Structures are given as structure tokens and as C-alpha cells.
Chains A and B, each alone.
Chain A
Amino acid sequence: MLRSWGNYPRIDGNSYRAKSEQTVRKLLEASKEYISYGNGRSYGDSALAEHMIHVLPQNYMLDFDETTGVLHLQAGVLLSEILDVFAQRGWFLMITPGTKYITIGGAIASDIHGKNHHRKGCFSECVLSFRLMLADGSIVECSRELNRELFRATCGGMGLTGIILDARVRLKKIESCFIEQTVIKTKNLRETFEAFEKYNYVPYSVAWIDCLAKGKGLGKCLLMVGDFSRDGQLENKKKRNLNIPFFFPPLVLNKWTVKLFNILYYNKVRKKVSTQRVHYNQFFYPLDSITNWNRIYGRNGFIQYQFILPKEKSYHGLEEILKRIADSGKGSFLAVLKLYGKANDNYLSFPFEGYSLSLDFKIEKGLFELLDALDEIVLKYSGRIYLAKDARVSKEVFEAGYPLIEEFRELRKRYKMNQKFNSAQSLRLDI
């Protein structure tokens, strides 16, 4: 049974393997509604539906140009596979999210972003073109020059425009598999904001925030910034992963264990500013080294809540939200804060210039009420929610954050996508 990363909601749908383009075309002929399912790393219901097309079998690399770094590959290839092959040859992903276990198709459909968004933007920035199968089975090539409207709709379009078959993406040259990292310890939200501004010139930056800290320590963080080393160390040794073999019972993750984790994690760093040399796996994908880490949240699953606020309103917005969360006692050890760069012109792409906070919440009594309350605050400060993480936002809250939603809906109608491509999320939000 195909699940999402948060294990919520649970939908017992039918899945169909995309063995070939002909197979997919044949599937689309039926009067069913489908959504593409890649590697199941979106958190909520954006890749869940009664009928899912499992794109993972489309996993060939088709061509690589050594001079330009352009990789032509099928949509089911995982980012991890790209790194396994190319990192030691001196190539890395231009934009990468916090996990490498997502497909190229997923990366495009969620228009994912990473620690360098403030400098390099979203994944679509490194996508030259892709081939998309539309509702009628026809295939179009989309790029900024060709079928630009479909390009803008599909990047961030959550699979609701069609089935992405293959893409051409540009990789970036690296001289080392290691990152020179600096960790800055901040005491409160004001210091955190100052640190983000001060270190804005560094290509990669993200902060772990103690979301249970209250009072004077509200908003204290470990800000991690860095860039690739130039030491020529391209050798890429594989480390063994830990595995969470079963779902943890609900007791394990609670206010006290999270608080304890936060205290230990924050104080593990002794100096105000410290530097280390770490492998790219540790810097970009710390959680990937724990296989099935989502099981820590138990069988009921969890919600990842990610929102973004415009820069000028971020401070007060975050202050209010952090207070609300700390007061509720609900929180996670995983809370990530980042300063983002400018928005692109894709219809449903999430980032714009401002601060975004991501939090994991175990599903328990009172959670959904808390999230609704947080939604109100997000709206109050003109923010929006990230669809790739979402499993429960309301239609009204979602729409308020995405000014181009009507154009997107209209495009879907025009291409008859609304009758062919739907996920549980798109039905819930009436996209």
C-alpha cells in the first residue's frame, strides 16, 4: 500500500506501475482520475489518491553532457542515485531539499527548494525542460521557451497538470564532497534574525530552532551555514545507515522527551561560533542516515507544518507563532527556520522572500485545533502553506496564500486536467 511520509492520511488506493509511456497512455484512457506517486516523500496527501501511477519504474538516465553538466533522465530517478553516480565525478545538484530520496518528477512537481534558496531559488531554476504527458495522452515538451505556461504550471503544480516523463536538469560542478560549515548559536529570535542577515552571503544556510523555548529564549537557534570545500576530496565513501525497524509507541515522543532533546541538541554546541568540515550527507541530508525515521512518530503518523511569512512581517509573525506553539507544549525536535529569497513566477511555487518555519507534530488530541490557530496567524501576517508538506489545511487558508490559484484552476480546466489528474489534496482544496 502506498503511503506518504507522514503516514497521514491513510488512503488504500490502487497503484499502477508506469512500465512505459505506452502503459501510462493506456491508463489515462480509462475514465479514472490519477495522481503520480514517486518515492512517497511528500508528507501529506499530495501524492495520494484512489488511483496512483507509480512513476518509480521510469528510472533510466538517458544522457549526460560532461561539458555543460546537463543530465537528461527519466522522472523516476531519485536524487540519491544522481549523487551516487556523479558526486565523485565532481557534480552535485544545483538545488537540493533536505532529503535525497525523492524523484526528479517529485522535485519538479513540488518545485522543491533547499538551503541555498536565498541565492539560487527553487528546483525549476536548474530544469531546462521536461516532457509532460497531458490528460489526452499527448506529450508536450515544456521549457521557458516552449509551452512556458505549462512549464510554470507544472513546476510546483503538485502533479496536477499531467505525468512528468523525463527532464533535462543542470548539475553544478563541485571540487569536494565536503562542506566547510559554520554553526552560530543564537540566544533569541532577534539574534537569530541578525545572524541570518549577517550570513546571508554564504551559499547555504538553515537554522534548527528550539520551538519549545519560551520567554527570553524564544527563537533561539543553531544557524548552520556553509559552502563546498575546495580541498579536492571527491572520494565518496558510503556509510551504514541506522534503521527504525518499527513504529514507536506514542509515549516515546512527548513534550518532555522533545524538551530534553532540544536542550541536549542546543547545548551540544559549546561555542558561539564554531566551524567544522562535514560530508555533504551530514550537511544536506542528516535525517536520511536514519532509514524510516518517520516511524519515530508512531503508527498514527505526523503532520509537517511549513509556512512562510513575508520578510517585513516575519519577526512579529514568528514571535506570535512560536509563543503559541511553546504554550501548547506540542512540538517536535525537528524545527527548521530559513530566510528565503525572491519568488519565481510559477503558479503554485511556495517560497517568497521571507522566513519559513517547518515543524513536525505528532498526531494527537488537540493538534488540528492548534494548526488551525496557527493558520489564522499565518494569514494575519500574509503568509502561506507549503503543499508538499500539507495534509489538512483548509481551502480558504490555502487560497488566501496563492494569488495565482484561479489562473491555475482555469488552466487545468482548459486542458481537461481537472478531470484526469487529482490527488486527495487537490480534491480537498478544490484545485
Chain B
Amino acid sequence: MEYVLIIGAKSDIAKAIARKWAAHGYHLYLAARNAAQLEDFAKDLRIRTQQEIRTLELDILDLGSHQDFYKNLDPKPIGVITAVGYLGAQEKAQQEMKEAKKIIDTNFTGLACFLNHVALDFESRHSGFIAGISSVAGDRGRKSNYFYGAAKAAFSAYLAGLRNRLHASNVHVLTVKPGYVDTSMTEGMELPKLLTAQPHEVANDVFKAIRKKKNVIYSKWFWKWIMLIIKWIPEWQFKKMNF
């Protein structure tokens, strides 16, 4: 009875990941806010895969609730995938602290606190995998989305630290950095078709990376090279740019 926990389960990437794992014979815990909205998706998955799909209420911003949430999982999952993400509005965050805080807490603080509980459990069991969906936006701060980028950068560093700590306990930590993905988060944005991944493609990349125990992957693969070039641009030049 192997369960995988997916948090932020209502997101398009999370759903694609859920489909992938269920199709490969895993049972699932799907956690999100207003988890009742997940029931139709869960039912569809149950019909298609005949796996146990449990929907659970989780507010990543309610730090105090994390410990009980994880304690109550029975059986404990063999892996956790975080797909919580909030793009937010950069302009609004520049004006209002509330929006800035929400972006940072959703994409970083909440996750960092939550994964602490998972880490303790996996560390004691000497097994498990943690996959955190970060973003290429964390590779370099730019004016169009640096609150989001900063939070993702923090999350990537956190996952790296976790990887370092948990290596001794045989726990695999994967950082996933998607580039452009065709989801509700990016709806309305004009994304270049050739560079944009579909959620199921990201899910395939994550699945393969977990199997192969990779450390950091970009999805699609070429974003690694795009970001290498972007990171290479010297700061005196980058600060003048507009994208």
C-alpha cells in the first residue's frame, strides 16, 4: 500500500503528476485548500486507475496545522511532491505588503515549514523521496516577477540544503525547475509555443527524475541552457534589461 502525498493538488501540474503516479500503481493523498473541490478529479482518477485516492484539507499558510496534518497520515507516504505555487501580481506586491507576504509565504515559508515534518519522518525511516516544484524564475531575479522569483530561489536553496542533510539517511530530494508551462497560472500570458511545456510533460519529467534519483532537473530540459545564458549576463547589463 504505497501512498504518495501531493500538496497543492488542485494545480494543473499536480493533477498531471497525480495521474502519472496513480497510473503506475500508487495510491495518493491529494492535499489542498478547499479539498472538496478535488472530489471530481479524485473520482475520475479512482475510476481510471482503481487506486485509493484520498483528498485532504491543507492550508500551507496555516503553519500551526502542518504537524497534525502529517501526523494523521496513515499509512505514511513513501514520497511527497509539492506543487504549491502562487504567482501573484508583481505590481500589487510592490504596493501592498499583504500580497508580497502571500507570494513569499505560499512559495517558500509555508513549504519550508511543512517539509520539516516530512524530513523528520523520512530521516527516521531512512527512506522516501521529496520533490519540490520550484521554478526557473528562482535562478535570477528580474523586475517582472522578483517576489515570486525570490521565494522560488529561497525554496531551491532550501531543497538543496535538505538534500545535503538527508543524503546520509538515504532520502532522495529532487528540485524541479519548470520554465513556461501551459496551466491556469499562466493563462492569458502569451507564452512562446516551442518553449512551453504541457503539464503532463512536466509530470513525465518528474516521474523519470524520481526513478533515476536526479538532484535538479529543468522542465523542459532546454531551460537549463536558457537559464545558463541568462545567468551568465553580467549584472551591469542585466539591470538595464526589460523582460
Contacts and interface: CB of A to CB of B under 8 A. Distances in A.
B74 interface: no
Contacts, number: 20
Nearest to A71: B47
Interface string A61-72: 111100000000
Contacts of B41: 60
Interface string B100-140: 00000000000000000000000000000000000000000
B40 interface: yes
B40 to A, nearest CB: 5
A392 to B, nearest CB: 31
13 contacts: A19-B184, A59-B44, A60-B41, A60-B43, A61-B47, A61-B48, A62-B40, A62-B47, A63-B43, A63-B47, A64-B47, A81-B48, A85-B47
Interface string B34-61: 0000001101100110000000000000
Interface residues of A, number: 9
Contact of B43 (A19, A62, A85): A62
A62 B45 CA distance: 9
Interface in B1-60: 40-41, 43-44, 47-48
Interface in A9-25: 19
Top 5 closest pairs, chain A to chain B, by CB: A60-B44, A61-B47, A61-B44, A85-B48, A64-B47
A407 B184 CA distance: 42
A85 B41 CA distance: 16
Contacts of A63: 43, 47
Contacts of B40: 60, 62
B25 to A, nearest CB: 14
A59 B43 CA distance: 12
A261 to B, nearest CB: 35
Contacts of B44: 59-62
A242 B51 CA distance: 31
Interface string A51-90: 0000000011111100000000000000001000100000
B235 to A, nearest CB: 40
A1 to B, nearest CB: 11
Nearest to A72: B47
Interface string A82-121: 0001000000000000000000000000000000000000
Interface string A206-221: 0000000000000000
B123 to A, nearest CB: 38
B28 to A, nearest CB: 16
Nearest to B42: A60
A260 to B, nearest CB: 38
Contacts of A81: 48
A232 B101 CA distance: 60
Nearest to B46: A61
A60 B43 CA distance: 8
A83 to B, nearest CB: 12
A244 B169 CA distance: 48
Contacts of A60: 40-41, 43-44
A154 B64 CA distance: 53
